[in-house]
């Protein structure tokens, strides 16, 4: 079946790169906000038969970017899915490099919703045939998908980038217990027996305030602090300060999804990081590692 790719407004660079990797046609969209705040999206196409009977691949991250919230990005995604189905797509494959709301996978306090699950239900009801997301905060939420759903792992390509920086005596630090398993897997990409240390993080569920503890011997070590998401940078900044106090030489702050909200860049660099590294799941100045090839490999 012929493939065609729709480049979502939130994934312009990554979308084009995936189309180039696959050697297939890419179509852009046009978007705007109506005066009342509603989203508008149109796939930039005059002849709808270009979509009919094709396998359509939609690439759209759902992080906040370029003056659009994650809610707007989700609405745009649902609009793209609806539009290609109305144009007669034979198969709809959706790539969501950053899956928003994935951190709301549990009810932490009475009265809360479990919105990660609702988002998956929305995607189910949209009638997609395949879903690919990258390093989902809680990959188990993909089990709620009624179609094939794959969580793509970006750890190897992030590790390759860091190794290209001439790092020595690497130690991987997990900023909390939740990230430990991922950090242990991440460490294996730097070689056998690369140590992993875990800090203890406690977040106040009401205020969001973070307390972190841990003291390690990091003297003469290049430290890689790895997390799935950097949002406000609070977690990273605390971990970096502890790593500095523990004698780290160089510090790399690494996340698949570097949302960099509010003053995250300042907080992380001011805490002592040498570099912030993210993937192009979020299109910003730290998206140094492209997901295009690993995503394309799943689509060939």
Which residues does the annotation mark as catalytic? 201
Q: Which is nearer to ligand R5P, 54 or 137 (CB)?
A: 137
Q: Which is nearer to ligand R5P, 81 or 100 (CB)?
A: 100
Q: Which is nearer to ligand R5P, 24 or 261 (CB)?
A: 261
* Residues 100-119 contacting ligand R5P, CB under 6 A: 103
Rounded least distance, CB 42 to ligand R5P, Å: 33
Q: How many residues bind ligand R5P (CB under 6 A)?
A: 13
- Binding status of residue 97 toward ligand R5P by CB under 6 A: no
Q: How far apart are the first and last CA of the chain?
A: 12
Rounded least distance, CB 187 to ligand R5P, Å: 17
Q: Which is nearer to ligand R5P, 80 or 242 (CB)?
A: 242
Q: Are 148 and 112 in contact (CB under 8 A)?
A: no
Q: Are 22 and 11 in contact (CB under 8 A)?
A: no
Least Cα distance to 284 among 253, 261, 252 occurs for 261
Q: Which is nearer to ligand R5P, 64 or 233 (CB)?
A: 233
Rounded least distance, CB 149 to ligand R5P, Å: 20
113: β partners:
none
Rounded least distance, CB 279 to ligand R5P, Å: 15
* Residues 207-246 contacting ligand R5P, CB under 6 A: 227-236
* Residues 165-204 contacting ligand R5P, CB under 6 A: 178-179
Rounded least distance, CB 188 to ligand R5P, Å: 20
Rounded least distance, CB 270 to ligand R5P, Å: 14
* CA–CA–CA angle 66, 70, 73 (5° rounding): 75
Q: Which is nearer to ligand R5P, 56 or 179 (CB)?
A: 179
Q: Which residue has the tokens 């011997």?
A: 217
Binding site for ligand R5P (CB under 6 A): 103, 178-179, 227-236
């Amino acid at each position: 079946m012929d493939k065609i790719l729709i480049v979502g407004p939130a994934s312009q660079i990554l979308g084009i790169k995936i189309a180039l990797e696959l050697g297939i046609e890419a179509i852009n969209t046009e978007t705007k906000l109506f005066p009342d705040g509603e989203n508008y999206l149109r796939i930039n196409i005059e002849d709808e038969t270009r979509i009919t009977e094709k396998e359509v691949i939609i690439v759209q991250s759902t992080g906040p970017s370029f003056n659009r919230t994650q809610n707007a990005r989700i609405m745009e995604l649902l609009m793209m899915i609806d539009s290609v189905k109305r144009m007669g797509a034979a198969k709809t494959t959706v790539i969501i490099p950053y899956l928003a709301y994935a951190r709301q996978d549990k009810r932490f306090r009475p009265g809360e919703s479990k919105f990660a699950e609702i988002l998956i239900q929305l995607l189910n009801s949209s009638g997609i045939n395949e879903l690919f997301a990258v390093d989902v905060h809680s990959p188990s939420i993909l089990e709620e998908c009624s179609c094939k759903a794959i969580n793509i792992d970006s750890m190897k390509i992030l590790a390759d980038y860091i190794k290209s920086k001439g790092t020595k005596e690497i130690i991987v630090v997990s900023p909390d217990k939740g990230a430990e398993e991922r950090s242990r897997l991440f460490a294996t990409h730097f070689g056998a027996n690369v140590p992993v240390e875990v800090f203890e993080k406690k977040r106040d569920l009401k205020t969001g305030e973070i307390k972190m503890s841990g003291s390690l011997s990091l003297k003469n070590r290049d430290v890689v602090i790895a997390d799935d998401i950097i949002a406000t940078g609070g977690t990273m900044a605390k971990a970096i300060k502890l790593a500095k106090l523990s004698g780290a030489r160089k510090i790399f702050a690494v996340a698949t999804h570097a949302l960099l909200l509010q003053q995250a860049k300042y907080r992380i660099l001011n805490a002592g990081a040498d570099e912030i590294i993210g993937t192009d799941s979020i299109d910003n100045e730290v998206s140094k590692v492209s997901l295009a090839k690993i995503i394309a490999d799943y689509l060939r």
